[in-house]
Structure 1
């Protein structure tokens, strides 16, 4: 829905530029095109897209020829086409760069998966930009017709310039709003901006430049509001998706500890058994490899807080079991700290026999209840 509006608006904007008679200075598009050829990446873009570059150079040469002949409408038209062709080449070059970054990201360790997703998103954005520019180029004939129609109107240069600036500002504001998915996170304001730009386009086509300028200003204000409203929601959604991806990856990796894993409201939990010999408060040798893996994960996922909860069976007194479980929780904390995990991230809690998960009347039940639960607490989105 939004792409046709932007494309048509761009066409009519070029019509305004082409309709301006007798320019005293060089056409802005000529200046932009020539400046783009001096940019640091211009040589790479020319090598990657020779056909588009050659086509742009032809249009630039036509613009120079028209400029020398003082045919300013033709100058502006050819210069704008040269700029559009060059921008298409730029966008394709950016796509090549994005795909290269994606290939690099895919070779990295799985923990860098978020960077790969970002590269894919960037590639998709560049592809969409190319499609839009290609649609603009396809409409060149329509822009020529609109330019001739606009030339028939004897509006003052001041009004034309003001309308031109208003249309440019509206399209730029809508593009900025699209960048933060305002159509999703601020749908009402974004729709208002699109509708206003559609009205600006219609009144511009009818020759009412004053009304077109007013509608364009309304579109700019609504698009700016949509961007401001959608921005925080867009960032929060991106952060949420990033956190979810990290938590999912952590859940997959935590199985390497050999414990029982699950996802709870607090985060990713792993339950370890046989961490301590009966009655002991020192980590058993058999459990060291599991806890070392927990420490590695804790360091790799530094944004997660760690909660250690030690449980006992029901044998022994309540107070004794509580003391024993707290000592064991502290022992696990000490083990993780010695393996490089910051103690400020860890909370150690002894639960005693207060939270059984099995029947303490059987040997198997008591064995199940003697456990250490380690929770990687999901951080709130920033």
Structure 2
């Protein structure tokens, strides 16, 4: 590759997916704009769910094999994404829609959030992506333990109903597992993990050879690991093997080593922490934005155990826009300029006059000034 190709492929094409996020961060300065941005993000995921419902008939849920075949072919034609990526997008998108719709509609349509959540979850089931199933359940468990204690009892019941009445989901989850004679055993680990158990040991061997700096982009192909996996799977010469280890964390380690992996994971940790910090209110704009962002980022990090990429790609445009929206709210809160409908209460006139008089007579404490300056210095 020429230097121009490198710039085009790894700088321009990689970062162009962040342009909507930048526009959201710069533009979402008022409650009205933030509400429009959140509505646009939720609409994106809802449209993806509707496209899946249109392309894959609901009758496919009766057979895991049919769901697998349709997921491999139809989703590739509809989006250009694999079923794994589509399932990850919908796993986080379903929860983001549920957590945001009640705020966007001002609570006027009581059953709308639950209905849209159910529709998105059905679309997720139709993709046949098992990592998406796992991410969906894990996000529900995390939010139940954190915010909705009743959900700890309801979530297992909901999962049991899905497994009982949607045979294809059960068949996909148990693919590669034998349950004959009342005993449960793994009959084919490669089938259970869709070949990932063939790729992971090879990737780990390469990582152990260069743990600090890695091998650069496309390390799986450049180091010959992909060809080795192809030989283990019995693929003929010329047939495509694993171009990456189908594990986001192994992929980062192969490409960037520990030197690059630690800052990237710290960045995601900061995003999660700041998104959670703006959820101090149980209801309202900030809580909806924070929890929607948490659900989308958690879906990526959980499903990353089976695939995904830490760098911006087409399927994560809306996720990064949501991250930018959460960071904008967090920034405004730190700077003391955040305005939201739930905070806009009219204080009594006497209280305002009393506070104004006290503020005029009392100097600002030095520690308060220092704390405010330190908070502002992080952004200015």
Q: Same fold (TM over 0.5)?
A: no
Query: Normalising to structure 2: TM-score of the pair?
Result: 0.23
Q: Which has the higher contact order (CA 8 A, sep 6+)?
A: 2
Query: Normalising to structure 1: TM-score of the pair?
Result: 0.23
Higher percent of residues as strand: 1
